Amino acid sequence: MPLADPDTIVIFDTTLRDGEQSPGATMSLAEKIRMAQQLEQLGVDVLEAGFAASSLGDFEAIAAIAEEIEHTRVCSLARANIADIDRAAESLLRAKKSRIHVFIATSPLHMAYKLGKKPDEVLRMIESSITHAAACSGDVEFSCEDASRSDPDFMLQACKTAVACGARTLNIPDTVGYAQPEEFAARIAYVRERIDPNVVISVHCHNDLGLAVANTLAAFRAGARQAEVTICGIGERAGNAALEEVIMALTVRRPYYRLSHAIKTEQIYPTARRLSRIIGQPLARNKPVVGANAFAHESGIHQAGVLKNPETYEIMTPASIGLPNNAIVMGKHSGKNAVKAKLESMGYHLDGAQIDMVLASVKRLADKKKEIYDEDLEALVLEEIYRIPDKYALIHLGVQSGDTGLPPTAVLVLDVDGKRVQHACFGVGPVDAVFQAIACVTKHKPKLEQYSVNSITGGTDALGEVTVRISENGNSAIGRGSDPDIINASARAYVNALNRLSKKQEEV
């Protein structure tokens, strides 16, 4: 995929591959498809959907995404061996546009201890694998894993071998976040000056020292024209270069970089929100670009300046990243057409029956709280439409708690495989009592690893969003629930997590 314009950056998103390797960021097939659809709407050029040979789940996800996506190029990762490449090619058969991304380690440390190979053996593996990949796909990318700790001359030799065999994109990754911006730029320039100018130089920077975005931007100045990034920087260990930070740096400082991109910046915030909801990890308030504090001003001096001219302290506008203005959009008198139009504007394309389900939930919620915002509506969609199929479903819940001298008590009715079961349980607190009761009914004894509460919008009547992470017998799962009553939200989240855990255990 040679560049049509040498001043345009190719955005290669690996949220669904490297990003999903982040602890707690595992997604179901349906969630991966929804995320892929949003990434296409965002405008990414290449979407790395997974690592086909790593698992049946990854293979099926890549194949499903390849069939679903219309315009974005869909990519599968593969090790430098024939079996991996064949598996990647098979997963991409239905893609409108595809790419096979082949990698092998080139640093002395990785070659000796991970591969157990000598440099000449690695070169032969590159030659055979890239030749085979080029026969399977017209678009092949090659990566020198741990490039920032590789010998520059050997790395260059590996790159030249890959190009000679058919690779048209060369990725120079800072796999362990070791590089510093100036030295990384020098390494990119070293390759750029010695490789066919029609070959795209790519970078994939990790954030172990907090320099992933800085290294990516430095690489652009040295001639790199593809960035491998993830939404909110999720990924292995400390994560990757964050797409939104790289893109807004290029956008805000366009006269400095003089580079363009195809990203629709007004889709940045909706994409970050969707990822946050799917993986159950709230956006940090101080997260650059998309965090709640990114456009907040508390200092009197700052407030005075912004009131006179927002540009005094804001280098980008909230609207430029698609930040909603929290306008009230729904209520008990809202009709089906209004709900459908609003959902479509938020990137959710539902059928008639699904819209009816959401509308009914909107009306129920409107009886509890006066004002319904975009975030509330999105939470209802995730609760009603995209939840894991119910093995367990919460029917009724009652909790007694307070300074009465009696222990907190939860009484609930749970649907278990179509059969209603009642149970009551004591606990240290109301949430503990609820979780104990649910665990008794479902006959699960998971370990609660994380419990977090987040307010979806402002106000005392806001929807509370609870995220729990549980583990049992080596499997873990994240559950989410939302409700104006935080105890109900906690119960919904716990049941959701148990449904996911049960599904995983059944698959195993």
pLDDT interval class at 479 (50, 70, 90): confident
pLDDT at 59 over 90: yes
pLDDT at 298 over 70: no
pLDDT value for 277: 84
Q: How far apart are CA 413 and CA 441, in angstroms?
A: 9
Averaged pLDDT for residues 150-161: 98
Averaged pLDDT for residues 9-15: 98
Strand, helix or coil for residue 357: helix
- Which long-range CB contacts under 8 A does 325-329 form with residues at least 24 apart? 326/373, 326/374, 326/457, 326/458, 327/373, 328/371, 328/372, 328/373, 329/372, 329/373, 329/374, 329/377
pLDDT value for 413: 95
pLDDT interval class at 464 (50, 70, 90): confident
pLDDT value for 427: 94
According to DSSP, residue 230 is labeled B
pLDDT at 477 over 70: yes
pLDDT at 422 over 70: yes
pLDDT value for 290: 92
Q: Per DSSP, what are the bridge partners of residue 411?
A: 398, 424
Q: Per-residue pLDDT tens for 316-356? A: 888 899 986 545 557 777 788 888 888 887 778 888 888 88
Q: How far apart are CA 450 and CA 70, in angstroms?
A: 37
What is the residue-wise DSSP string for 371-420?
-B-HHHHHHHHHHHTSSPP-SEEEEEEEEE-SSSSSPPEEEEEEEETTEE
Percentage of residues in the chain with pLDDT exceeding 90? 64
pLDDT at 233 over 90: yes
Give me 236's structure tokens: 């292995």
pLDDT value for 467: 87
pLDDT value for 458: 73
pLDDT at 487 over 80: yes
pLDDT at 307 over 70: no
Percentage of residues in the chain with pLDDT exceeding 70? 94
What is the residue-wise DSSP string for 172-213?
EEETTS---HHHHHHHHHHHHTTS-TTSEEEEEEB-TTS-HH
Q: How far apart are CA 25 and CA 234, in angstroms?
A: 8
Would you give the distance in Å from CA 168 to the centre of its chain? 27
Least confident of 166-170, 273-277, 303-307, 396-400: 303-307
**Cβ-contact 483, 476 below 8 angstroms:** no
Strand, helix or coil for residue 53: coil
Q: How far apart are CA 104 and CA 44, in angstroms?
A: 25
pLDDT value for 304: 64
pLDDT value for 3: 62
pLDDT value for 303: 54
Q: Is the dihedral of CA 261, 264, 270, 271 positive or negative?
A: negative
